[in-house]
Amino acid sequence: MYKDKKVIVVLPAYNAEKTIEKTYKEIPFPLVDEVILCDDFSTDGTVEKAKEIGIKLIVNHPENLGYGGNQKSLYNLALERGGDIIIMLHPDYQYTPKLIPAMVNIIGEDLYPVVLGSRILGQGALRGGMPIYKYIANRMLTLFQNLMINSKLSEFHTGYRAFNKHVLNSINFNINSDDFVFDNEMLSQIIYKRFDIAEVTTPTKYFEEASSINLRRSIKYGLGVIGVSIKHRLNKWKILKSKLYQ
């Protein structure tokens, strides 16, 4: 608990058997009240490993629903269980759970309702081994998004995020994509609703066991990001009326 606020960490898992234990051991208990893992039909021993290390709240998808579909299950359950501060952390150990106290403090003190862990601030991405083509794509897409959405984020593509429950209750994330562009749709919805966003510098690690998408899916993701940004701007101009922003 943080000042009577329930803190829940949600882990969207897919084939995370080799990294889930490292991630879980760095989660700062007892600040974190609950950990929820959603396994998106992994083909390895993710669920068995999660049970072995002590994770009690585990959701099993009967089929692979995708990264966005995984997060929908997690956020809905976290809200049902009374989460006041909800942190989404990848269980592949790319992001350190040691930043959770800082993120919880920012939200718990009502400074900002949303906190992103940025790999770009402090140049953590390249030092952590981010491929140069991904770094360049990240910077180009972020520049385009900031111009289209009228924001000043250092990056839109981090998988380390914390939310006040009121933010999740205010946006219709359940209609978003089940694929990777879900993250960008969420941020677009949050900015459209005028919620302020804080960023904290986070180191990141790129290694063999860490999750990553291939070039084909990266291109699909990039095109999806561009589409979300254009849709956001057209809605602001009242040319389009998308359900994303209702």
Overall average pLDDT of the 128-142 stretch: 87
- The pLDDT, as a whole number, for residue 125 is 74
User: Is-contact 188 229, C-beta < 8 A?
Assistant: yes
Among 6-10, 23-27, 72-76, 218-222, the least confident range: 218-222
What is the Cα–Cα distance from 110 to 80, expressed in whole angstroms?
22
**What does the domain layout of the chain look like in residue ranges?**
7-245
Does residue 130 surpass a pLDDT of 70?
A: yes
What is the Cα–Cα distance from 32 to 197, expressed in whole angstroms?
21
Higher pLDDT, 124 or 130: 130
Higher pLDDT, 168 or 120: 168
Q: Tokens for 87, please give them.
A: 């942190």
Listed residue (30, 33, 52, 39) closest to 11, CA to CA: 39
Does residue 7 surpass a pLDDT of 80?
A: yes
- pLDDT grade for 28, boundaries at 50, 70 and 90: very high
What is the Cα–Cα distance from 130 to 125, expressed in whole angstroms?
5
- pLDDT grade for 133, boundaries at 50, 70 and 90: confident
User: Is-contact 27 53, C-beta < 8 A?
Assistant: no
Find the Cα–Cα–Cα–Cα dihedral 173, 176, 180, 186, rounded to 10°: -40
Question: How many C-beta atoms lie closer than 10 Å to residue 53's C-beta?
Answer: 12
- pLDDT grade for 132, boundaries at 50, 70 and 90: confident
Overall average pLDDT of the 61-88 stretch: 98
Average pLDDT score over the chain: 94
- The pLDDT, as a whole number, for residue 212 is 63
**Percent of the chain residues topping a pLDDT of 90:** 85
- The pLDDT, as a whole number, for residue 202 is 92
C-alpha 185: how far from its chain's center? 11
- pLDDT grade for 208, boundaries at 50, 70 and 90: low
Overall average pLDDT of the 153-179 stretch: 97
- The pLDDT, as a whole number, for residue 162 is 98
- The pLDDT, as a whole number, for residue 207 is 66
7-245 placed in CATH 3.30.300.210: no
